[in-house]
Amino acid sequence: MPRALCAVHAAGLCRRWERGPRRGPSRAGRARSRWGDRNTCAPPVGGIFSPLDLELGLRGEGYSPSVLRKIDYAGSNATSFAQAGEALRRLAEFSISAKHVQRLTEKLGRERQEHRDAEVAAFREGRLEPEYKEAPRVVAIHVDAGKVQLRKDDGAKGVREPHWGDSKVACLVNYEDRTFASDPQPEPLSIFLDPPRAVKLYAELGRVRNRPETLISPAPPPELPPLEETSSKPSKRTSPIPLLKTAIASMARTEEFGWIVAAEAQKRHSCGAARAALVGDGGNWIEPLGAFHFHGWVQILDVVHLMAHLYTAVQCVCPASPRKAWNLYETLLRLAWAGKVDELIERIEAQLKRMRAPTARASRPADIETVERTVEFIRKNRDRMDYPRFRRKGLPITSTLVESLIKQFNQRVKGTEKFWIDGGAEAILQARAAYLSEDARADRHYEKRPLGRVAGRPPVRAEA
């Protein structure tokens, strides 16, 4: 008997057993009631659980676990659901609509979200146990924020009430245990001292964050001779070496996101690390998060963001002379790299005083305001700028890992044509984060999934 008829027949027997023997209708009436007449269709097979699903491992979804994983992976990592469907057609050799890929991917993302929220609740009640027996020696949490385009709802076709929403991203990393008797990198990295590379880095930083109000567009680099290579032999690596990385992302508010990150740290047994740091860009939401959830951890200001602020400030100090601006930038850069915060502030304030002087060439109010904000930014984060000590302890001083992570999230969720509803954005962030983590959590999710339907009747057509 075909599987569809077998499932419908089994469902009919179950209903008759629950209600007891039927009396009254004729034999022909009972036949029509069971099978329906020619104008009646049997219920969709996807809506009835078949015992064969257990034997075939279909879990009531119409897909085997291996096919469902392929759909999940494609929907979570392709740049769009349409591209995911095309990849499945070409590589997995079956057809599935882009809309159904979206339903399945978001449903699995919501399952991961529910699992995450349950862990957060257990953590807040003191019931969440670490998944690792031993705590790492060195750990750091890198945090930053991104942007996602949202829309009102998923109703009629078209985009209604589009707006930007904030996504928060964290990268929890275990590092190799290394310490140094003296500063292992007393000279600034070459990328900060090479004009074309530095300008490109700071411009890219602004594009990734999508916050043009924080950094003005970098001016063209001055024409300076290229840096001379000090040695043909590669230098020994002194920067921290990452060992294991897990990703966290959410559209949640800062307070809720703090609990999510803290629960992840508990799972990773990070709170027992010998040396632990929280690295951020100096945003006003990061310091309270660290003080509340990670008391005793070292807070570090990302040195790349600091250099970008300095480069922006010197353009305002010397707007007509790129060479003078670069020379001043290099002086401030070396002071910041060496952790000489007081001298750094004095140098910038001296330039600010000159810009305000009535006898000097008039400076634009916007330029003065930019330099003032730079001084305020440095004062606020002065305790997070002891870079020589951080380097000796083997701690990271950049948030490049989380910046790279934001790029990887943006490849999936950000684009001029992508507008998400709130629930859809959160679900896809959870699915994407699972595959960007290096602890195989994306695959482990299927080991804990209960039997049940994912989303709707699967419109799959087998390839010839």
Instruction: Decide if 122 is inside a domain.
Output: no
Is the pLDDT assigned to residue 217 strictly greater than 90?
no
Place of tokens 């970098």: 218
Q: Phi and psi of 210, rounded to 5°?
A: 60, 40
Phi-psi category of 54—alpha, beta or left, where left has phi over 0 and alpha has psi -120 to 50?
A: alpha
Across-strand partners of 164?
A: 149
Within 8 A by CB and 6+ apart from 90, the residues are none
- Mean pLDDT value across residues 6-23: 45
- Taking the CA atoms of residue 376, residue 381, residue 383 and residue 384 in that order, the dihedral angle to the nearest 10 degrees is -150
Instruction: Decide if 442 is inside a domain.
Output: no
pLDDT of amino acid 322: 87
Instruction: Decide if 150 is inside a domain.
Output: no
Domain span at residue 370? 186-221+303-397
Place of tokens 């997070």: 384
- Can you say how many angstroms the Cα of residue 43 is from the centroid of all Cα atoms in its chain? 42
pLDDT of amino acid 452: 54
Pairing of strands 275-280, 138-150: parallel
- Mean pLDDT value across residues 432-456: 81
Pairing of strands 163-175, 461-462: unpaired
pLDDT of amino acid 457: 46
Report the C-alpha gap between 195 and 197 in whole angstroms. Answer: 6
pLDDT of amino acid 212: 40
Considering the chain, what is the average pLDDT of its residues?
Answer: 82
Place of tokens 């020589």: 388
pTM for the whole thing? 0.79
- Mean pLDDT value across residues 147-159: 77
Six-digit token pair at 218? 């970098």
- Taking the CA atoms of residue 317, residue 318, residue 320 and residue 323 in that order, the dihedral angle to the nearest 10 degrees is -160
Is the pLDDT assigned to residue 47 strictly greater than 80?
no
Instruction: Decide if 71 is inside a domain.
Output: no
Is the pLDDT assigned to residue 33 strictly greater than 70?
no
Report the C-alpha gap between 197 and 344 in whole angstroms. Answer: 23
Tally of domains within the chain: 1
Six-digit token pair at 381? 């984060």
Is the pLDDT assigned to residue 55 strictly greater than 70?
no
Place of tokens 């009629």: 156
Is the pLDDT assigned to residue 431 strictly greater than 90?
yes
For helices 341-356 and 322-337, give the axis angle rounded to 10 degrees: 150
- Mean pLDDT value across residues 265-272: 93
In eight-state DSSP terms, residue 270 is: G
pLDDT confidence tier of residue 11, bands split at 50, 70 and 90: very low
In eight-state DSSP terms, residue 46 is: G
Side by side, the strands of the sheet bearing 298-301 are 242-250, 163-175, 138-150, 275-280, 298-301
Pairing of strands 298-301, 461-462: unpaired
Six-digit token pair at 21? 């023997």
- Can you say how many angstroms the Cα of residue 363 is from the centroid of all Cα atoms in its chain? 40
Place of tokens 């996504």: 167
Asked if residue 335 lies in contact with residue 344, where contact means CB atoms within 8 angstroms, the answer is: yes
Report the C-alpha gap between 259 and 130 in whole angstroms. Answer: 15
Report the C-alpha gap between 458 and 464 in whole angstroms. Answer: 18
Across-strand partners of 312?
A: none
pLDDT confidence tier of residue 380, bands split at 50, 70 and 90: very high
Report the C-alpha gap between 314 and 327 in whole angstroms. Answer: 9
Instruction: Decide if 16 is inside a domain.
Output: no
Is the pLDDT assigned to residue 135 strictly greater than 50?
yes
In this structure, is the dihedral angle defined by the CA atoms of residues 256, 260, 265 and 271, taken in order, positive or negative? positive
pLDDT of amino acid 29: 53
A 10 A CB-CB count for 376 gives 10
Instruction: Decide if 241 is inside a domain.
Output: no
Is the pLDDT assigned to residue 41 strictly greater than 80?
no
Instruction: Decide if 195 is inside a domain.
Output: yes
Most confident of 188-202, 267-281, 408-422: 267-281
Asked if residue 391 lies in contact with residue 180, where contact means CB atoms within 8 angstroms, the answer is: yes
The string of DSSP codes covering 403-440 is HHHHHHHHHHH-STT--B-HHHHHHHHHHHHHHHSSS-
- pLDDT tens column, 87-133: 999 999 989 999 999 999 999 999 999 999 999 999 999 999 999 88
Place of tokens 């075909």: 2
Report the C-alpha gap between 316 and 355 in whole angstroms. Answer: 9
Instruction: Decide if 23 is inside a domain.
Output: no
pLDDT of amino acid 201: 87
